[in-house]
Amino acid sequence: MADKLTIRQIAALAGVSRSTVSRVLNDHPHVRPETRAQVLQVIAATGFHPDPVARSLSGRDAETIGVVIPLTIRSLFEHPFFPRLVQGIAQGCSNQDYTLSLYLLQSLKEENRFRARISRRQFLDGLIVTSARDADPLIPRLFDSQVPFVMHGRHEDPRVSFVDVDNLSGAHAGVTHLVRLGRRRIAMICGPSGSLAAEDRKRGYLDALRERRVAADEALVVCGDYTEASGYEAMRRLLPHVPDAVFAASDAMALGCLRALREAGQRVPEDVAVVGFDDLPQAATSDPPLTTVRQPIQRAGVLAVDMLIDILENGAEPARRMVLPTKLVVRSSCGSHLVS
C-alpha cells in the first residue's frame, strides 16, 4: 500500500503543500526544521518511496506562480531591469519546484480580462505583481478574490506583502556623492509619476540636496519612463539649464543621458558628472563606465518567490515587508574610479 502513495497524499498527511514535500525529498535548504521533521516522520511511518517519474509528473497542473508585468512586450525588452528580475523569479520557482507563468498585460482590455480570470483561481496558486501603479485596480481585485500575492516594490496598503529595495537611501547616497565632489547644479531624471519607487528616489535626491544646503531647482528635474530613449530626451531638455551633474533614476536613462551629452559636445565627467541606479551589466562597460546605485535585482526576484510560498503555506497575515539594501558603486562617470 505504501508504494502506491503519492507526494500529494504525503503532503496531506503531513499538513503541508506538495512542493514542501518535494523540497524535503530533494534536501532543499529552504524548509523550516520543524516542517522537515514533520514530513520525514510521515515518510518513515508510511514507508513511502517516491517514484522518480511520478515525482516529475505529479501536480504539474497546479503549483504554478504567475508573474504580472503591466508593460507591452516591446517595452519589456526596452527595460533591461525586467529580464533580470524575471530571471530571479524563475530561479526562485525552480528552487522551490514551482512552475512560472508570465503575464504581459499590453492593454487596458487585457488587464480587465486578466482581473476577471484571477477571480476563478483555477490556473495558478499565487501571483507576483511587478511595476504596479500606486492606484492599480488589480490590487483590490486580488484582495476581493483572496488570491495570494506578493508585490515587487513598496505599496502603501498595510495588507500588501512586498519585496523592495531601499530606493530612498540609494538615491540619497548617489546625490550626496555628487555634492561631495563639488557639484552644485545637480539635475535629476525621474521615473514615471504614480510609481512609489520613482517618488522615493526623487525624495532621496531632494533630501540630499537639502541636507547639504544645495538649492533645488525645479527646472533641473525632468521625468522619464526608465528607458534609454526617455533618458536621452530628458537630457536634451536639461542641457539649456546647464547642469554640472545628473542623477538618473535608472541605468537605462543614464545611458541615454550619456549619449545626449556626447552629441552636445559635453565631457563626462569634466563638464557633467552622471550617476545612475540599478548597476546593470551595461553600466560597467559604458563610455565612461557609469557610477550607479546597485540594487540586488535577481535576489529580489528569488526572495519574492520565497515570500509568496511562505504565504501559500502559512497564510497572508501578517503582511511581510522586506526592504533590501543598495550600494553606491563609484566609477569614472563622476570622476572617481573607487568602489565604495
What pLDDT score was predicted for residue 59?
41
What pLDDT score was predicted for residue 77?
65
Residue 53 has phi, psi (to 5 degrees) of -70, -45
Better-scored residue on pLDDT, 339 or 311:
311
Distance of CA 262 to the CA centre of its chain: 31
How do residues 48-73 score in pLDDT, each as one tens digit?
876 554 444 344 445 789 898 866 55
Say if CB 51 and CB 327 are below 8 A apart.
Answer: no
What pLDDT score was predicted for residue 1?
40
- 313-318: Cβ within 8 A, 24+ apart: 313/16, 313/17, 313/20, 316/148, 316/159, 316/161
The β-bridge partners of 190 are 223
Say if CB 200 and CB 277 are below 8 A apart.
Answer: no
How do residues 243-265 score in pLDDT, each as one tens digit?
999 999 999 999 999 999 999 99
How do residues 104-152 score in pLDDT, each as one tens digit?
777 667 767 776 676 655 567 889 998 766 667 778 888 887 888 999 9
Say if CB 99 and CB 60 are below 8 A apart.
Answer: yes
Whole-number percent of the chain with pLDDT over 70: 84
**Which of 15-19, 153-157, 200-204 tops mean pLDDT?**
200-204
What pLDDT score was predicted for residue 97?
78
Better-scored residue on pLDDT, 59 or 304:
304
Grade residue 29 by pLDDT with cuts at 50, 70 and 90: low
What pLDDT score was predicted for residue 61?
43
Residue 252 has phi, psi (to 5 degrees) of -60, -45
What pLDDT score was predicted for residue 121?
54
Better-scored residue on pLDDT, 314 or 251:
251
Nearest 5°: CA angle at 209, between 326 and 294?
A: 15
Distances, alpha carbon 192 to alpha carbons 138, 204, 211, in Å: 19, 16, 25
Burial (CB count <10 Å: 0-12, 13-18, 19+), residue 141: middle
Three-state secondary structure call for residue 270: coil
Q: Rounded to an integer, what distance in angstroms lies between the CA atom of residue 257 and that of residue 280? A: 15
How do residues 169-205 score in pLDDT, each as one tens digit?
999 999 999 999 999 999 999 998 888 999 999 999 9
Grade residue 339 by pLDDT with cuts at 50, 70 and 90: very low
Q: Rounded to an integer, what distance in angstroms lies between the CA atom of residue 306 and that of residue 219? A: 43
Give this prediction's pTM: 0.80
The CATH H-level (homologous superfamily) assignment of domain 167-295+328-334 is Response regulator (3.40.50.2300)
Residue 28 has pLDDT above 70, yes or no: no
Say if CB 225 and CB 198 are below 8 A apart.
Answer: no
The β-bridge partners of 128 are 67, 150
CATH C-level class of 64-165+297-324: alpha beta
What DSSP letter does each residue of 94-117 carry, written as one string? Answer: HHTT-EEEEEE--SHHHHHHHHHH
- Report domain extents, the chain: 2-57, 64-165+297-324, 167-295+328-334
Q: Rounded to an integer, what distance in angstroms lies between the CA atom of residue 292 and that of residue 274? A: 8
The β-bridge partners of 99 are 64
Q: Report, as an integer, the average pLDDT of 320-335.
A: 95
Topology agreement, domain 64-165+297-324 and domain 167-295+328-334: yes
- 135-144: Cβ within 8 A, 24+ apart: 135/194, 136/70, 137/111, 138/68, 138/70, 138/111, 138/114, 141/115, 142/118, 144/119
What pLDDT score was predicted for residue 162?
96
Average pLDDT score over the chain:
86
Grade residue 321 by pLDDT with cuts at 50, 70 and 90: very high
Whole-number percent of the chain with pLDDT over 90: 54
Architecture in CATH for domain 2-57 = Orthogonal Bundle (1.10)
